[in-house]
A and B are shown apart, each in its own frame.
Chain A
């Protein structure tokens, strides 16, 4: 990450916050608006952060992953399904059900990660096509099971969605959460906190451990890595599966942390935006997180503007249309991909199957 990207990110986030503050400051104090937006930004950036980390693991090892969306969707569904099963079939109490749900979400993501590795490493399928297969399979399976289990007569849950066990509770970080006003930012749910910890953990793993060095070697120059005795196939498999686990955890955010329900196609393109965040973060964990925060801020603006709907001045009336404000993340992604804010340099062997 260079200073140009960071200043661009800071500028965009400041602008998005500034718009809301300038509209809402007469009703609510700027400090409260800013902290509340910051808290929302961090929370809604969670699936993007985890999705981007998924991309970092896969692509640093040389496997392009556009299947993040599908891995997330399957994580969202199977995590939710497991939590419901535990809660209403095995009568587990809320917390254990939710935690098993999170585990199941990661496993579902990891299983699709394994499939992606099988396709792209073993069968050397075009990796973008492989990712598309993952996405379509995830849409098909989650849609089918959702209908089959919950909405068909004679199905396990008798044609109706059972009561979901709720969402993961907030964790108030000691000391930090007690700071007046700003403390709100540190009042987050567990997956959001884990995501941030994973960003720094991934940074450490990637750049300061033997595992990370091997991963990067395999992504940059697999033949050289092979020559010095690194098992390219194994390293790629492991990283793509880890990537799947990350995306699955990102999926758990949707159904176990954000809202206690599942809807077909509910990830709504977040996996692709996460991929763009990873590209803008130049395939680094911390950069990807910073980029994910931009998208988080755009969404936080959309959410917060709803509170100040009445106060939007006439000449800014288009901000009342959530359809229009909702375009911001997608347009930002396209601007970032042009490379005008800095050239995006992928790992040299990204997307290329390794022929021994």
Chain B
């Protein structure tokens, strides 16, 4: 099918691609998936003895009801955007990175270490900008390295990245538990929590507005989203990644070094996931604490799929997920529905986005002409 191949690899502009897809139902279907999940979530809330309308109103109020709420939603959205982009980029290259969670945690641990220990080791106080860049940069590279391992295993041994990235999640989790309970534990006498000491002032990213927690990391996330789109659609490397993702055999015959691209795709994906962790440390918590990141990596999968692996879609899906997480506390306060209901709704969103055939069936939308290939069986 030369026609569809051409369509797939043709560069799209940042916005017109989205508008074009809106017509074919690519935007409509995710929206209806969200709607359907919210309706089912409402049933769950009603069964739990709550008023769904009051709950959703509380959710919206908590997410967007005030300047502070907006700021907090942006704070939540920041790691989601990075991690969502990580998963989306891997999908573009035909790889399923379930390991964002581990890449993120290790990125956070390393950047925290750079943040609190490096000045003492070097015996000098680092200039603020340099220190932040070091903390973020080395944290990113850690994530990239951690993801490149399953990439290498995939390219050279065929070990499937799905299981390997999951295994590396557990390895990363054990390693962080070990470090945060042992060598890197905050030594202050009152501390009983598995966490690092606070990072130096010079390693902290500033907030955007005085009095609000929203920080420059959010702006960075938006810039990185644009750069990811640019990389994928406007550069040779992006073309190669997409070609390997669409058809590795064709890519090989076209002279692309498929093994190299697989490793590079995973490394780039891990780098984005690492950024999610490092930004949380340098711009928000100023330390790494065990368990703060649990779930970002998995939410990122839903976000990437909801955003149809398009960077702009990922940003919008991240803001939606962030709003739900942020608003949930207010919802629980007003209606006594536990925040955990959000996990159910988000899983339902993923269900309806993944099984778009269900949504198309319910709302009578005709099927798309081309199908988005995300992963292959154990053989590929």
Contact = CB atoms under 8 A, between A and B. Distances in A.
Nearest to B154: A337
Contact of A338 (B159, B302, B340): B159
B98 A132 contact: yes
B177 A339 contact: no
Interface stretch (B17-25, B64-72, B369-377): B369-377
A352 B377 contact: yes
Contacts of A298: none
A324 interface: yes
Given A279-B378, A327-B174, A352-B377, A148 B357 contact: no
Interface string B340-380: 11011111101100110110000000000000011111110
Contacts of A64: 377-378
Interface in A148-189: 148, 151-154
A129 B347 contact: no
Interface residues of A, number: 52
A272 interface: yes
Contact of A137 (B305, B348, B357): B348
B153 A123 contact: no
B51 interface: no
Contact of A269 (B166, B302, B348): B166
Given A144-B338, A338-B153, A128 B96 contact: yes
Contacts of A268: 170
A128 to B, nearest CB: 4
A272 B355 contact: no
Interface stretch (A201-209, A235-243, A247-255, A328-336): A328-336
A66 B157 contact: no
A351 B346 CA distance: 25
Contacts of B157: 337-340
Interface in A124-149: 124-130, 132-133, 135-137, 139-141, 143-144, 146-148
A260 interface: no
Contacts, number: 147
A326 interface: yes
A152 B343 CA distance: 17
B355 A119 contact: yes
Contacts of A334: 153, 159, 164, 167-168
A253 B305 CA distance: 33
Given A326-B174, A334-B159, A123 B357 contact: yes
A36 B162 CA distance: 35
A30 interface: no
Contact of B346 (A140, A146, A147): A140
Given A144-B340, A144-B341, A276 B163 contact: yes
Interface of A: 64, 66, 119, 123-130, 132-133, 135-137, 139-141, 143-144, 146-148, 151-154, 268-269, 272, 275-276, 279, 321, 323-324, 326-327, 330-331, 333-334, 337-340, 344, 346, 350-352
26 contacts: A119-B351, A123-B357, A126-B354, A127-B377, A129-B305, A132-B350, A139-B298, A139-B347, A141-B344, A144-B340, A151-B338, A272-B167, A321-B182, A323-B175, A323-B177, A324-B174, A331-B171, A334-B153, A334-B159, A334-B164, A334-B168, A337-B153, A337-B157, A337-B160, A337-B163, A346-B377
